[in-house]
Amino acid sequence: MAITAADVKKLRDATGAGMLDAKKALTEAEGDYEKAIELLRISGLAKAAKRTDREATNGIVVGRDGILIQFAAETDFVAKNAEFVGLGNQIVDAVAASGAKDLEAAKAAPLGSTTVQEAVQSLAATIGENLSLVNVVNYDGDTHLYLHRRASDLPPQVGVLVEYTGGDETLVHQVAMHIAAMNPVYVSRDEVPAEVVENERRIAEATAREEGKPEGAIPRIIEGRLGGFYKDVVLLDQPAVWEDKKTVGNVLKAAGVEIKRFARLAVGA
């Protein structure tokens, strides 16, 4: 059948393909519009696959209602692209609707007539950048979401989702901002794997001996350095950035708030 200019324009508008590519796809598909789209998707995805040597180190974080995702792109130009941001919001909706609890389940979640992963690949082909869904967090309990903009002209690029018990959401908001700034790894010391603690202990002892510290002082030095390690990685041990001379744990205990778990997602991480 004859391929008209209107047919080519319709396909270009739907796929973002160039005029010659659209016409070639329609010709190969013998005018079948859906088959032409499929051919372009196949061609476009192959093009996107060739770009995977370039890292998707930019992008956005998006969240709501106990869900937080990290959606990556290569450039900040794409990170603020309306289609890219829009797909990020659609992915959050798809995760909420499907109940997906991890990355692979989220990628397989239905999104319209396709899946999340297929939608990401399709947009990657259209935009011409390597795009990827990097992280997905979906909590069931009482949660608080904090999204932070690194630059005023970009969407949020750091996100914190906190699951908690207790009624002081204002305090939890302070904790979420603290997590965004201080980047703890664990909620409490109990969560730190024993092998990690033992390794830190071994390093502290070896360092003290290398420094020529007195043998009798080494146990105390080890415990002091372990305490410093905990302040770096454990939320409850960290000095609260909004409260002078108090730890996050002290402030939460006084308010009757317990942090059950948290996730911090940051573009580029």
pTM value surpassing 0.75: yes
CA–CA distance, 8 with 178 (Å, rounded to integer)? 53
Of 123, 133, 127, nearest in space to 75 by CA: 127
Dihedral in degrees, nearest 10, Cα atoms 192, 194, 200, 202: 170
pLDDT of amino acid 7? 86
**pLDDT above 80 (res 132):** yes
| Structure confidence at residue 147 (pLDDT) | 98
Half-sphere exposure (CA, 13 Å, Cβ side) for 243?
16
DSSP 193: -
| Residue 38 forms part of a structural domain | yes
From 91, 117, 138, the end of a domain falls on 138
Q: Are residues 32 and 90 in the same domain?
A: no
> Quick one: pLDDT band at residue 134, thresholds 50, 70, 90?
very high
Q: CA 252, CA 228: separation in Å to the nearest integer?
A: 20
Give, rounded to a whole angstrom, the gap between the first and last alpha carbons of the chain. 51
Task: Identify whether 13 is part of a domain.
Answer: yes
> Which residues make Cβ contacts (< 8 Å) with residue 264, sequence separation at least 6?
158, 159, 160, 179, 180, 183, 184
Do residue 58 and residue 117 come from a single domain? yes
Same domain for 58 and 45: no
Q: What is the pLDDT of residues 238-259, one digit of tens each?
A: 999 999 899 999 999 999 999 9
User: Which residues have C-beta within 8 Å of that of residue 235, sequence separation ≥ 6?
Assistant: 175, 178, 179, 184, 186, 187, 188, 248, 249, 259, 262
133 occurs within a structural domain: yes
Same-domain check for residues 67 and 43: no
Same domain? 43 vs 106: no
pLDDT digits (tens, 9 = 90+) for 32-50: 888 887 777 665 532 444 4
Q: Higher confidence at residue 11 or residue 210?
A: 210
Average pLDDT of the chain? 91
Residue ranges making up the domain that contains 116: 53-138
Q: What is the CATH number of the domain that holds 27?
A: 1.10.8.10
Strand order in the sheet with 158-165: 143-148, 158-165, 258-266
Write out pLDDT tens, residues 152-198: 999 999 999 999 999 899 999 999 999 999 999 999 999 999 999 99
Sorting pLDDT into bands at 50, 70 and 90, what band is 55?
A: low
Question: For the chain, what percent of residues have pLDDT higher than 70?
Answer: 93
pLDDT band per the 50, 70, 90 thresholds, residue 269: confident
Report strand pairing: 58-64 vs 132-138: unpaired
* Region 5-20 average pLDDT: 79
Pair (108, 130) in one structural domain = yes
- Total domains in the fold of the chain: 2
Pairing of strands 258-266, 58-64: unpaired
| Share of residues in the chain with pLDDT > 90 (%) | 72
CATH number, domain containing residue 116: 3.30.479.20
3-state class of 214 per DSSP?
A: coil
Q: Are residues 108 and 59 in the same domain?
A: yes
- Cα 142 vs. chain centroid, distance in angstroms? 20
Given the structure tokens 């510290």, which residue do they identify?
A: 213
